[in-house]
Amino acid sequence: MKKIITLIIGICIGGFHARKNLFKEGKINIFGKNNPNWKNGISFEPYPSEFNRKIKQQIKKRDNYICQAKDINSCKGDLVIHHIDYDKNNNTPQNLVTVCNKHNSFFNSNREHWKNYFKMIMFIKELFNPKNILMFNENKKLIGVNRI
């Protein structure tokens, strides 16, 4: 156990080069099935044809070409489109959000947190969109949105 803790501390303190050396030496292997975020290889599945340049541009425009992650001051890299529910086949605008490459790399860990975070972002966007009329039931639960 002490060896594992020392290894983890070394990885955290040593940064990229320490991790690279540990990979080379075969001391750690967090690729593929050994990675705690492994989802049976779904990242290698192709995107459907409707996830194209046109929809990506629409989403970036809707998001004002700004990364929608929490710490936008530390954004790096190009803007990309993230699937909120991690389903490549769900390409509705409500499931797509603009993020920078740096932040997009974080979203594969703690998926439930990020799903909830981006769902809240999208709810707020819909709530304050002046082109929307929100519909509620008698229990004051949101049941739909109509465009004006």
State the Cα–Cα distance between residues 136 and 148, nearest whole angstrom: 16
End-to-end Cα spacing for the chain:
61
For residue 23, the model assigns a pLDDT of: 52
Say which residues have a Cβ less than 8 Å from residue 81's Cβ, sequence separation at least 6: 51, 55, 56, 59, 60, 96, 97, 98, 99
Whole-structure pTM over 0.75, yes or no? no
Say which residues have a Cβ less than 8 Å from residue 76's Cβ, sequence separation at least 6: 100, 101, 102
For residue 76, the model assigns a pLDDT of: 81
Per-residue pLDDT of 116-128, as tens digits, reads 999 998 888 888 8
Give, as one character, the DSSP assignment of residue 60.
H
Place of tokens 């629409």: 58
State the Cα–Cα distance between residues 69 and 118, nearest whole angstrom: 8
Tens digits of pLDDT across the chain (148 residues): 444 444 444 444 444 445 555 555 555 555 555 555 545 555 567 888 999 999 999 999 999 999 998 765 678 889 999 999 999 999 999 999 999 988 888 887 788 998 999 999 888 888 888 887 878 888 877 777 777 7
